């Protein structure tokens, strides 16, 4: 008797090809362990501040539970314009901002605007795996271009980037500061990528969600510093990192106003708008959350110092100190199989890390550790890792 057809046979190749997260594999393996210190996810351990949650509660109590503006409520779009005006020292109009159901939704929407079947989008790697996955699910091909690792820092390879462009290329994805490496694009990097995009008629997908986490002081360099009104750039961002709102799932896009109706249409057919109470929380974060963001940055800097000091003393790890974001991306001497290594560290050190292979080309042999955690937890995790390293 012939085998019954599989339900999977009827699915789109793009859906079937969506990769399983290598990070989630380790999380599922270790998350129920007693005493586990989980440093695998890209989030801190501080809950959302009360002034943000209270804004959401007031909105719900006031009955703001109906359908809402597809592009975002005017109050939030205006708050986003003010926030960017203050951060970048130049005026921003509210009609450039579009509220999304998370930063990931902003990325998916941006990709769907530009790339589809037969197209290519260049992604410097190592990179957050969701970038490439969003491109692939849209039917396009992510073209991975590995950055250069040195112990002074990760570097964008200009020649590799230029050589990756083909007639099918539609855009370049730049995440700076970078998850997972902590690389920060320099003014020279930004100028090169922008010039490359201009010469080839490409879009730039600029994911600058960690721009506040910049250890040289102030915000990180941005495409906003040198762009002109004619430049094809879409920015994606989120409330998750700055304001400890990873579970809220609210983000935004900044794009040329000319794209407004098309973006609204895509938002209509994906989420039909972000819940108003979430948007009220976003306004509170933008208008009252500056001291909290500064506290987050200070905690990340302290955590970075704790982890680097402890692990570097063993002489068994290699890394480039992160210039931004809140991750240490390091390799362990004699341990190239990082998928197996992630499970081994769970078993032998009871610390959860993310394997570098989850982040694409160039991530082989590396592990990612999130250090936006309490000093006490990081000191304990670092000591466990040091003890384990001394035994291998």
For strands 233-238 and 327-332, give the pairing: unpaired
- For 93-136, the pLDDT digits (tens) are 999 999 999 999 999 999 999 999 999 999 999 999 999 999 99
- Considering the domain boundaries, does residue 102 fall inside one? yes
- Residue 169: phi and psi, rounded to 5, are -70, 130
Question: How many domains, in total, are found in the chain?
Answer: 2
**What are the structure tokens assigned to 122, written together?**
């260049």
**Hey, which residues does 150 pair with through a beta bridge?**
153
Average pLDDT of the segment spanning 263-291: 98
At which of 252, 270, 288 does a domain end?
288
Percent of the chain with pLDDT over 90: 92
Q: Is 217 exposed, middle or buried (0-12, 13-18, 19+ CB in 10 A)?
A: exposed
Shared domain check, 281 and 297: no
pTM value > 0.85: yes
pLDDT for 151: 84
Residues 349-364 as b or e (16 or more Cβ within 10 Å = b):
bbbbbbbbbbbbbbbb
Shared domain check, 200 and 131: yes
CB atoms within 10 A of CB 391: 7
Report residue 2's pLDDT band, with 50, 70 and 90 as the boundaries: low
Shared domain check, 175 and 110: yes
Shared domain check, 318 and 228: no
CB atoms within 10 A of CB 315: 9
* Full residue range of the structural domain in which residue 196 is found: 63-288
CATH number of the domain enclosing 339: 3.90.1150.10
Shared domain check, 317 and 383: yes
Report residue 18's pLDDT band, with 50, 70 and 90 as the boundaries: confident
- Considering the domain boundaries, does residue 58 fall inside one? no
**166/141 Cα distance (integer angstroms):** 12
Shared domain check, 237 and 91: yes
**What are the structure tokens assigned to 322, written together?**
């992160």
Shared domain check, 300 and 238: no
Shared domain check, 283 and 173: yes
Shared domain check, 68 and 34: no
Shared domain check, 121 and 101: yes
Q: How far is CA 260 from the centre of its chain?
A: 24
Report residue 61's pLDDT band, with 50, 70 and 90 as the boundaries: very high
Shared domain check, 106 and 184: yes
At which of 232, 253, 288 does a domain end?
288
CATH number of the domain enclosing 189: 3.40.640.10
Query: Is the per-residue pLDDT at 1 higher than 70?
Result: no
Shared domain check, 358 and 244: no
CB atoms within 10 A of CB 115: 24
């Amino acid at each position: 008797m012939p085998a019954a057809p599989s339900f999977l046979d009827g699915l789109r190749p793009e859906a079937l090809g969506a990769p399983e997260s290598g990070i989630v594999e380790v999380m599922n393996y270790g998350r129920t362990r007693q005493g586990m210190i989980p440093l695998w996810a890209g989030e801190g351990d501080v809950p959302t501040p009360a002034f943000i949650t209270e804004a959401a509660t007031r909105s719900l109590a006031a009955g703001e539970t109906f359908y809402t503006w597809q592009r975002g409520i005017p109050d939030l779009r205006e708050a986003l314009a003010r926030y960017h005006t203050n951060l970048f020292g130049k005026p921003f109009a509210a009609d450039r901002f579009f509220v999304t159901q998370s930063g990931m939704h902003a990325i998916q929407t941006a990709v769907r605007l530009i790339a589809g079947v037969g197209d290519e989008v260049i992604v410097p790697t190592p990179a957050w795996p969701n970038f490439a996955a969003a491109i692939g699910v849209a039917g396009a091909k992510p073209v991975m271009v590995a950055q250069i690792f040195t112990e002074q820092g990760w570097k964008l390879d200009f020649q590799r980037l230029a050589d990756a462009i083909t007639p099918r290329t539609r855009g370049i994805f730049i995440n700076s500061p970078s998850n997972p490496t902590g690389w920060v694009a320099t003014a020279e990097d930004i100028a090169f990528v922008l010039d490359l995009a201009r010469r080839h008629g490409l879009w730039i997908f600029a994911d600058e969600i960690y721009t506040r986490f910049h250890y040289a002081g102030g915000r990180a360099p941005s495409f906003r510093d040198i762009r002109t009104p004619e430049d094809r750039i879409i920015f994606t961002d989120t409330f998750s990192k700055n304001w400890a709102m990873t579970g809220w799932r609210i983000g935004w896009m900044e794009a040329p106003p000319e794209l407004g109706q098309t973006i609204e249409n895509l938002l209509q057919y994906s989420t039909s708008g972000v819940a108003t109470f979430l948007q009220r929380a976003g306004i509170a974060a933008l208008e009252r959350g500056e001291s909290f963001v500064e506290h987050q940055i200070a905690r990340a800097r302290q955590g970075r110092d704790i982890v680097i000091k402890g692990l570097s003393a063993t002489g068994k790890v290699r890394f480039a100190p992160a210039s931004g974001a809140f991750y240490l991306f390091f390799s362990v001497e004699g341990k190239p199989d990082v998928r197996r290594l992630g499970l081994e560290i769970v078993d032998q050190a009871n610390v959860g890390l993310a394997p570098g292979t989850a982040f694409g080309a160039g991530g082989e042999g590396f592990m990612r550790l999130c250090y936006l955690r309490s000093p006490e937890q990081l000191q304990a995790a670092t000591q466990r890792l040091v003890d384990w390293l001394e035994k291998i």
